A = this chain, B = another copy of it.
Amino acid sequence: MIKVGIIGSTGYAGAELVRILLGHKHVEIKWFGSRSYIDEKYANVYGNMFHFVTDTCLDDNLEELAKQVDVIFTATPQGYLAGVLTEEILQNTKIIDLSADYRLKEVEVYEKWYNLKHKSPQFIAEAVYGLCEINREKIKQARLIANPGCYTTCSILTAYPLVKEGFIDVNTLIVDAKSGTSGAGRGAKLPNLFCEVNENIKAYGVTTHRHTPEIEEQLSYAAKEQITINFTPHLVPMNRGILATEYASLKKIKQTDGSMGYPTYEQIRAAYDKYYKNEYFIRVLDKGKCPETKWVEGSNFVDIGFQIDERTGRIIMMGAIDNLIKGAAGQAVQNMNLLFDLPEKEGLQLVPMFP
């Protein structure tokens, strides 16, 4: 059994991690960390866990914890892990960090977008960006995994094959994303009250959302050039789910007859299949279908659809995930499976729940 510690186990992502790990055959949770609920019974914080978890919440103590467990998940605010991580800790355990501390390779970019001083930039280089479908092999070797953000997972995977294949003009890429409210966390903040969110939709963080440089960095690797995009998140009155609607101008490519022309449906579909055909967690939908967040709720799937607009020469790509699963805890477990050479799907063969 793999011994697991969770720091930040009482946030929504931490709780989802607990829920998923309870169904994982090879795992034992040893430490339910929570600064806010020290000494409280975990099942009092999350009533759904009654009879499943009898543990009490513990304070965080990464150094001590690292000696006791094989892997630590940190579902903590930005800056926490960077503030406490040491080489000794990494020699004792593996870490899967659900925060943004090690996602961006350039410390200046991190410090600018997060408005935080990075306390341990020395670990940035070795951290592996845990987008499993893209970085699988590197993840297997890592000590420190930077688990991707929810918006970024969805945004990147939806566009990745077309960026990689050079089918779209990457600098025309616009990501208009919509998220359920669990993405905002369990903090008691006025804008997240039921009456403020319900019957309402709004954009927020327009041009300034912190997932922007993360998407840009990863897609730049794929494009092999530095790209800049627009990313606009919206808050939707639902608990779970992210839908990313992405727009980009198609590039003319060489067709079989030698002429230059826009890629056809079949060519684009083939590009998706090239990268995703064997990816269990990515479902490229049939022609004409648009993904719905409800069809992936409760699962680790990414559903992807697309539509070509010949009138404008653009493609509209759409991706849907459950933000707490593929966008956070599920992908973290997928990373853990890779790290420990377990079947990648273990604990994650969740059928989406409808309605």
Chain A interface (Cβ < 8 Å from any Cβ of B)? 12, 15, 19, 22-23, 46-52, 171, 174, 176, 178, 180-182, 186, 188-190, 192-204, 206-207, 228-230, 232, 234, 236-241, 243, 245, 247, 283, 285, 289-299, 303, 307-309, 311-312, 314, 316, 318, 320, 349, 351-355
Q: Beyond A48-B295, A298-B353: 4 further Cβ-contacts under 8 Å?
A: A48-B351, A193-B193, A202-B320, A207-B309
Copies in the complex: 4
Given the interface contacts A50-B283, A236-B237, A237-B236, does A292 sit within 8 Å of B201 by beta carbon?
Answer: yes
Considering only CB atoms, which chain B residue lies closest to A311 in the complex? B228
For A236, the closest partner residue in chain B by CB is: B201
The smallest C-beta distance from A196 to any residue of chain B, in angstroms, reads 7
Q: How far is the CB of A264 from chain B (nearest CB, A)?
A: 15
B52 touches A309 (CB 8 A): no
Taking A298-B298, A351-B19 as contacts, is the C-beta distance between A291 and B202 under 8 angstroms?
Answer: yes
A196 to B197, CA, bound (A): 12
22 CB contacts below 8 A, A to B, read A23-B349, A47-B354, A48-B353, A49-B351, A174-B247, A180-B199, A182-B195, A186-B195, A188-B193, A192-B194, A195-B239, A199-B199, A199-B238, A199-B240, A200-B292, A200-B294, A201-B243, A201-B292, A202-B320, A206-B290, A230-B314, A237-B237
List the B side residues contacting A296 at CB < 8 Å.
48
Specify which chain B residues have a CB less than 8 angstroms from the CB of A12 in the assembled complex.
195, 355
Which residues of B lie under 8 Å from residue A186 when comparing CB positions? Answer: 190, 193, 195
Task: Look across to chain B and name the residue whose beta carbon is closest to the beta carbon of A45.
Answer: B190
A194 near B198: Cβ-Cβ < 8 Å: yes
Once the chains bind, are A199 and B294 in contact (CB under 8 Å)? yes
Q: How far is the CA of A311 from the CA of B207 in the complex (A)?
A: 9
- Would you call A239 and B290 a contact (CB within 8 A)? no
Are B234 and A243 interface neighbours, CB within 8 A?
yes
Interchain nearest-CB distance for A215 vs B (Å): 13
Docked Cα-Cα span, A165 to B196, in Å, equals 36
A181 to chain B, nearest CB (A): 4
Contact A206 B50 (CB under 8 A): no
